[in-house]
Amino acid sequence: MIEIRKEDFNIASDMDEIRVDGLCRDLLRGFHRHLLEKGTAPLEAGTLAHGADYYLRDFIVSSQRRNLFAETPGLVRRFAATWYIISNLKPSAGELGDMLRGIMAFYRFIHEYKLVSDDYLGIVEQECSDIPFYKERIRSFLDIRGDGYPAWERICGMKDDI
């Protein structure tokens, strides 16, 4: 059993961000170990943990400065449909798909410990499964010409409207 105090993941300062990044790193090690103990092949466990790591530490903690246990519908969608795409030189549907599988597996892991609700797990699973939408977002981003970015972003923007 893992022992987590959700409030330890609150971020109000740069020092909090550094501390929470370390907490996430430890939690992700536990997630990876859990996958291996459940019989997941080492390469697959590494791929899933890497996908969850990128989402948690780069997006949730560093970019959004959010508590990873705050149940925020639309956050995975914002990550996959916009942030991942604009943050990578060569966004790839395959790479994003691996990350989304890792995110889903991670939320299932923390759900086992009652750290997120059943309803929120369902939302995350739904958002992680919308692969055709994310593929289209990547394609349409790569096709942007001229001043087309604002219209593209409005479909799933980075503003805090979720």
What pTM value is reported for the model?
Answer: 0.93
Phi-psi category of 107—alpha, beta or left, where left has phi over 0 and alpha has psi -120 to 50? alpha
- Distance between CA 86 and CA 78 in Å, rounded? 11
Which percentage of the chain shows pLDDT scores above 70? 97
The predicted pLDDT at position 8 comes to: 96
With beta carbons less than 8 A apart as the criterion, state whether 127 and 80 touch. Answer: yes
Hey, where are the domains in the chain?
Answer: 8-155
- Distance between CA 69 and CA 64 in Å, rounded? 13
Q: Over the stretch 12-23, which tens digit does the pLDDT of each residue have? A: 999 999 999 999
Task: Report the chain's mean pLDDT, rounded to a whole number.
Answer: 94
Give the contacts of 140 (CB within 8 A, at least 6 positions apart). Answer: 152
With beta carbons less than 8 A apart as the criterion, state whether 103 and 78 touch. Answer: no
**pLDDT band, very low/low/confident/very high, at 139 (cuts 50, 70, 90):** very high
**pLDDT band, very low/low/confident/very high, at 1 (cuts 50, 70, 90):** low
Q: Over the stretch 53-73, which tens digit does the pLDDT of each residue have? A: 999 999 999 999 999 999 999
- Distance between CA 71 and CA 44 in Å, rounded? 27
CB burial of residue 37 (10 Å; 0-12, 13-18, 19+): exposed
Is residue 94 predicted with pLDDT exceeding 80?
yes
| Angle, helices 131-142/93-112, rounded to nearest 10 degrees | 140
